[in-house]
Every structure is written in C-alpha cells, then in structure tokens.
Amino acid sequence: MFERTSNIDYVILEKTSSVKALGSSLGLDASSLPVMEQLGLLNDFNAVSKPVRQFNFYNEAIESIGVVDFSCMPEIGGYPAIILDRPAFYNVLLKKLPKEKILYGKKVSSIEHDEHSATVKCADGSDIVIGADGAYSAVRTNMYKDLAARGKLSASDAHPLSYDQNCLVGVSEPLDPSDHEMLRRETCDFEIVIPKTDPFYAIYMPLPGNRVSWAVIHNVPRAEAMAGDTKLSEWHPDASVDMSNFVRHQPSPFKGTLGDIIDKTPKELISKIQLEEKFFESWYDGRVVLLGDACHKVVPSAGLGANLAILDGVHLCNLLVDIPSTSLENITKVFENYYEKRSKIAQGALTNARQFGKVMSDRGFISEVVRKLFLNYIPDWMTRWSNAQRLQYRSQLHFLPQVPDRGNPKAQPQEPRMFVDAQVA
Ligand SMILES: Cc1cc2nc3c(=O)[nH]c(=O)nc-3n(C[C@H](O)[C@H](O)[C@H](O)COP(=O)(O)OP(=O)(O)OC[C@H]3O[C@@H](n4cnc5c(N)ncnc54)[C@H](O)[C@@H]3O)c2cc1C
C-alpha cells in the first residue's frame, strides 16, 4: 500500500531468509478484496484461488450432518470468499513489491524511539516503526518492556499468549481428479469432519491444481497448554510427526483416511502450530505501532486474521498519507485514531471467531445439540445477516481510484480523512 503513495518511503524487515512454502491456505473475503482490486492484484488472486461455495459437515462415518451455505457472499460483499495456498498469497503480493523494499534475514531485536525518530536495531532511523511481526511480535515485546518500566503496562498485556488448541496443517501434492468429484468443481467446498469421540476435527479445502489443503484442530486441556511457549508457536515441520500419527485413523471425505492425505503431503509442507487467541490493549507507544496478529490474535476458524491485518494496514496507510508533518503530535493523532477505530472491530472479530470455533470443536451432549441446531436450523436470513455483519467494513485506499461497491448492503462509509477533513471544516 505504501508503494502506491508518493510521500511515504518505507522498508520491510523480514526475519526469514526467504518466504517459505509452508503448507497451509488462506481465505480472503470481500472485506479485503476491494483493496486488492485497487492495487491491481485481483486478477492475480483469482488466477491462483478457488471461490468458496459452502461448508459441508460430516460425522466420523462421513455421513452429512449439515451444510453452511456461503453462496450469498458475492451478492452481499461484491466478491466471493476465495481460498488459496499461502505461498501463492505471498507470491502475488511480492510480484508488485520492488525487490529493494524488502530486506530478508533482518530480525528485529530492539527498538529505540524518541520525540524525533524511531530506530530498529538492524535498520536506519525512520519516523515510525510498524510492528507487523505476528503473534510473538518482537516489536510488541520491546514496546511492552518500555511500558512496564514506566508502570504503564496493563495487567492483561503483561499476561503471555495462551492457547487451547493445536493445529496440524498441510497441502497435499496433486490428487487424481477422476477419483474425487470435489476436485473437479470450479468452486471450493470446505469438507469438515466432526467426530463424536476424537478430540479433534479435520477440514479439507480443495485448491487449484487438484491439491488439498487440510487442517486438523485438536483441543488441548488448558493445563497442558504451556502459555507463551514461543518455540512451539513457530511454523515448523519438526513437531508434526506425533500429531500426524495421533490423527491419521480418522475417515476422510476423500475416501480412505486422513492418514492417506497426510501421506500424500510432502513432509516439508506439514506444520504443527498452536492456535493462540488474545486481544492486546496497548497498540502504540511514541513512534511505534502494532498491526495484525501482533495486537489481535484470533483463532483461524472464521478466516478473519489476515483480512483484519490487511484492513489495519489500509486504515494506517490512509491516515499516514495525509499527515502534514511527522511530528510526534501528528503521529500520536494517527495512532489514537487507528486504535479507536480498529480495536473495536478486532475485538468483535475475536469474539466471532471464538464462537464459530467453539461450535466446531466443543464436545459433549450440549455441544452436539448446539451444533445440530447451527448446522440444520439456522434460517437463511440469519446466515445472510451474519455474513453482512462480517463484510460491512470494506475500506479502500482513498488515494487510489475507488473500485465500485458491488455489494448489497453497501459497505460502511469510508473513514473521514482526519487531517484533510479537519482543514476543510
Ligand atoms: C491454520 C491457519 C489458517 C488461517 N486461515 C486464515 C484465513 O483463511 N483467512 C484469514 O484472514 N486469516 C487466516 N489465518 C490467520 C492469518 O494467517 C493471520 O492472521 C495473518 O497471517 C496475520 O498477519 P500478520 O502480518 O499480522 O502476521 P504474520 O502473517 O505472522 O507475519 C509476520 C511476519 O513477520 C516476520 N517476523 C516475525 N518476527 C520478526 C522479527 N523479529 N524481525 C523481522 N521479522 C519478523 C515473520 O517471519 C512473518 O513474515 C489463519 C491462520 C492459521 C494459523
């Protein structure tokens, strides 16, 4: 987004030496796709993704237990939700990014900032630092150390991230489409197996190229979840073998078992990760600000995290591009506005994602009844209403030509331009 402005210079510091082809997929929806269209990336995304039609739910005998239909998404938001693998997502973004703007192998370890500039150890000084460095953000850790030293860190922020689910993800090699009708469809249905007894459920998402992205989500008793264990939260294939063995017996909608799909997945494309959840209360301090998972980590069940992070970026970029000077006073105004607007939305998303995740993962009689009601008796108007809520914010970059709002109902109005509108008034 900064690339398309003429007055913001920037550099991206990435700790890894290259973008890794990790095995997982990502769903984007009408909240972030208008910006992708503005940036000229929509056709690229369409070429490497499948539109999502519906979620099909099964029991352990692969008998249908319900369907949630998402075919109303294009009408509501103007775009279908799309699903693509993560490397494809990064490749589309990187295509338009000048190579010199991203510095690989630059791990941020500390930050200093004062009235006039912010400096990360490993880069030159700059006006601000945006910490978009994920759930275990080093920028956040630094910022919170400073806040704690000044007695300004809240009790909640002082608490480490915790998790109560483990997740195993992978992307298979191409399967034979003549064996699987699901692969021959133009659209993608999520095939979700929720067994009665196993403490985990599995999601299968057909991708372009006859591949299947899959994820297994395993409830972990709170006591076993080691809060703040950074090593396990990194995406890494090593930790995945035990969990693969634990889940492989479960029948799959692709004939055979989950183990058969795991066996068709290159080992380096299988990762075990923890699904943490936390809303952080402090998002900025001085010239440093957080964005995405660094300040609001949602569970992935509702496919919201990346869409939220993109819209955080749009909001910040729209404010920064208008800033008359980079005085601390103006920067503080920008960050205050950003926090005020985006934090409410992030908190709502956190609750929605948690509720959706609980419907799928909770076990026991009451949860079974709730799931049955959710999957079979929710009226169409309610599904539509809930999707309209989800897609109501479809912000665009104000400094690029606007793409038409093709959704119904219309999106929430664009945020006022703080500096420009204030001058006009
Ligand atoms: C299994 C799974 C499925 C998901 N599916 C969806 C979905 O369908 N739709 C959706 O919207 N969201 C989904 N999400 C959530 C989504 O992936 C995240 O919310 C999103 O990636 C957050 O983006 P981010 O930029 O904040 O952080 P990240 O994507 O975590 O990016 C952080 C970057 O910072 C780098 N970094 C970290 N530390 C440092 C450092 N010290 N110095 C320099 N660089 C550093 C990392 O290498 C990384 O490149 C899913 C998540 C999971 C786990």
What are the domain boundaries of the chain? Answer: 165-275
Helices (H), 237-304: 240-247, 258-263
| Tokens read off for 281 | 């209360």
pLDDT tens, 45-69?
A: 999 999 999 999 999 999 999 999 9
Please tell me the distance between residue 167's alpha carbon and the centre of ligand 1 in angstroms.
Answer: 15
The answer to whether the beta carbons of residues 254 and 182 sit under 8 Å apart is yes
The residue-averaged pLDDT of 298-308 equals 92
Beta strands in 253-334 (DSSP E): 270-279, 284-285, 288-290, 296-297
* Bridge partner list, 64: 58
Residue 207 Cβ < 6 Å to ligand 1: no
Count the neighbouring beta carbons within 10 Å of the beta carbon of residue 338: 23
- 31 compared with 21, residue with greater pLDDT: 31
Q: What is the pLDDT of residue 232?
A: 44
CA dihedral 318, 320, 321, 327 (to 10 degrees): 160
pLDDT of residue 93: 94
Ligand 1 atom nearest residue 138's Cα: 41
Separation of 294 CA from ligand 1 center, angstroms? Answer: 9
| pLDDT exceeds 80 at position 422 | no
pLDDT for the residue numbered 87? 92
CB 335 within 8 A of CB 289: yes
Query: What's the pLDDT band for 229 if we cut at 50, 70, 90?
Result: very low
Instruction: Give pLDDT, residue 386.
Output: 92
| Whether the CB of 33 sits within 6 Å of ligand 1 | no
Q: Contact 289/140 with Cβ under 8 angstroms?
A: no
pLDDT at 228: 45
| Whole-angstrom distance, CA of residue 285 vs CA of residue 94 | 29
Helix (H) or strand (E) holding 335: helix 328-361
pLDDT recorded at residue 165: 87
Per-residue pLDDT of 394-411, as tens digits, reads 999 999 999 999 999 999
Ligand 1 pocket: which of 133, 203, 312 to mutate (most atoms within 8 A of CB): 133
Predicted confidence at residue 341, as pLDDT, reads 97
Side-chain half-sphere exposure of 58, counting CA atoms within 13 A: 18
Kindly report the pTM of this predicted structure.
Answer: 0.93
pLDDT at 297: 95
Ligand 1 and 293: CB distance under 6 A: yes
- 233 has a pLDDT exceeding 50: no
Q: How close is the Cα of 247 to the center of ligand 1, in Å?
A: 25
- Ligand 1: atom nearest CA of 298 is 19
Beta strand 188-193 with 50-58 is parallel
Q: Does 15 contact ligand 1 (Cβ within 6 A)?
A: yes
Q: Is the CB of 170 under 6 A from ligand 1?
A: no
Interval 206-227 mean pLDDT:
82
Average pLDDT score, the chain: 91
Atom from ligand 1 closest to the CA of residue 306: 11
pLDDT of the residue at 274: 87
Q: Is 299 close to ligand 1, i.e. is its CB under 6 Å away?
A: no
Ligand 1 contact, 307 CB (< 6 A): yes
Average pLDDT over residues 209-217: 96
Letter for the amino acid at 279?
Answer: F
**Phi, psi dihedral angles at 74 (to 5 degrees):** -60, -35
Q: With bands split at pLDDT 50, 70 and 90, how would you rate the model's confidence at 268?
A: confident
Question: For residues 112 and 342, which has the higher predicted lDDT (pLDDT)?
Answer: 342
Protein residue with least CA distance to atom 36, ligand 1: 133
pLDDT(370) > 70:
yes
Instruction: Indicate if the pLDDT at residue 342 is higher than 80.
Output: yes
Closest CA to 409 of 43, 30, 55: 30
Ligand 1 centroid, distance to 179 Cα (angstroms): 34
Span 379-395, average pLDDT: 93
Q: Give, for ligand 1, the residue of 11, 12, 13, 14 to mutate: max count of ligand atoms closer than 8 Å to Cβ.
A: 14
* Average pLDDT of the segment spanning 157-170: 90
Q: Give the Å distance between the CA of 80 and the centre of ligand 1.
A: 22
